[in-house]
């Protein structure tokens, strides 16, 4: 996929990432201070502002497309200060913004996940964002249940000697990465060629709340893994897997949340990037991910993503763990 051949929708999504990063960086600068780490309001401001910004762009460029996002404006309308702060952030990029516009843009993200629709996770990795570590703005386009494109904007991620990078992929056209400042040419992404399970670098969250960490430890022992895990929040993990910096990422259902099903915005963007880079993603039962079931992956349990070489072997070790 040479730069001149980038499909319109993908170029549109790539272009949006710079504005999204401007918002998230501004919010971090203005609202996160050392005393305040437990306060979640900065990430709330960033979530709403990014969703409003992306939604208005989709409305303008692709008015017939639905959008499925995490946020709705109902809570915002009960908190005038929060709404005004979100509006200020959007206004920095779109001077004509006002609280009514911003609320209606956010609610465009409450669209129905059918036909052709965009999927957005405005700030994926809340804790990473608050710690000024890793988070991602993740955007995908889904058509008739198929993830057509995925973009992961990772403003704090360092990769190949560059900090502030994004990954993007289009169905059948490979995965690529570039810096936000575009001073470097887009480069193709490829998964690693490590085929020895004991050498797998496993991507793990800092937060264990979403997964079964005991079972991951058990898997690591069963597999004889000798390499330290890579700890990171957010779909930035998919970036590293696609870029050959790790071999395995899994979301295992915590025993107390055995009925949990993934939201599509937590998976669709990274899914397309990893697949196009040569990786494999299934659920923990080895089933293909089914994106045709609404806002959640109701036909799938957990997530198992590898560099693809020995996916089945790794999965069978998991099933014995």
List, by residue number, the catalytic residues. Answer: 47, 126
Cβ neighbours of residue 215 closer than 8 Å, sequence gap 6 or more: 252, 318, 321
Q: Are strands 202-204 and 248-251 parallel, antiparallel or unpaired?
A: parallel
Angle (CA) 44 74 141, round 5°: 70
Q: Are strands 187-188 and 202-204 parallel, antiparallel or unpaired?
A: unpaired
Measured CA to CA, the distance from residue 250 to residue 220 in angstroms comes to 12
Measured CA to CA, the distance from residue 168 to residue 185 in angstroms comes to 13
- The CA–CA distances, whole Å, from 16 to 107, 112, 148, 218 equal 18, 22, 17, 41
The single residue listed with the structure tokens 């264990």 is 208
Hey, is 41 helix, strand or coil? helix
Within 13 A of 259's CA, how many CA atoms are on the CB side?
0
Which of the 8 DSSP states describes residue 120?
E
> Checking phi first, is residue 129 left (phi over 0); if not, alpha (psi -120 to 50) or beta?
alpha
Dihedral angle of Cα 239, 244, 247, 250, to the nearest 10 degrees: 10
Cβ neighbours of residue 92 closer than 8 Å, sequence gap 6 or more: 22, 23, 26
Hey, is 165 helix, strand or coil? strand
Give alpha helix (H) positions in 66-203. Answer: 80-91, 99-108, 126-130
Instruction: Specify the DSSP element, H or E, that contains 312.
Output: helix 311-320
């Amino acid at each position: 996929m040479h730069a001149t051949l980038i499909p319109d929708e993908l170029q549109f999504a790539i272009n949006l990432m710079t504005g999204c990063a401007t918002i998230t960086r501004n919010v971090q600068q203005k609202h996160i201070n050392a005393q305040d780490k437990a306060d979640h309001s900065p990430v709330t401001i960033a979530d709403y502002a990014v969703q409003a910004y992306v939604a208005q762009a989709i409305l303008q460029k692709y008015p017939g497309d639905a959008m499925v996002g995490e946020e709705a404006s109902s809570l915002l309308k009960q908190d005038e200060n929060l709404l005004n702060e979100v509006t200020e952030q959007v206004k920095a990029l779109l001077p004509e913004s006002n609280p009514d516009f911003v609320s209606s843009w956010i609610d465009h993200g409450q669209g129905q996940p059918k036909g052709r629709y965009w999927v957005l996770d405005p700030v994926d990795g809340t804790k990473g964002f608050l710690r000024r570590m890793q988070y991602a703005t993740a955007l995908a386009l889904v058509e008739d249940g198929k993830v057509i494109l995925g973009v992961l904007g990772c403003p704090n991620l360092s990769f190949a000697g560059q900090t502030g990078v994004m990954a993007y992929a289009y169905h059948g056209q490979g995965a690529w990465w570039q810096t936000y400042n575009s001073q470097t040419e887009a480069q193709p992404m490829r998964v690693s060629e490590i085929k020895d399970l004991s050498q797998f670098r496993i991507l793990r969250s800092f937060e264990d709340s979403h997964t079964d960490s005991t079972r991951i430890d058990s898997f690591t022992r069963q597999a004889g893994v000798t390499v330290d895990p890579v700890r990171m929040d957010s779909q930035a993990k998919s970036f590293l897997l696609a870029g050959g910096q790790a071999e395995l990422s899994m979301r295992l259902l915590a025993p107390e949340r055995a009925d949990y099903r993934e939201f599509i915005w937590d998976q669709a963007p990274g899914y397309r990037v990893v697949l196009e880079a040569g990786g494999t993603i299934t659920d923990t039962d080895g089933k293909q991910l089914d994106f045709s079931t609404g806002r959640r992956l109701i036909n799938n349990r957990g997530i198992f993503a590898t560099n693809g070489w020995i996916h089945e072997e790794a999965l069978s070790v998991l099933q014995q763990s």
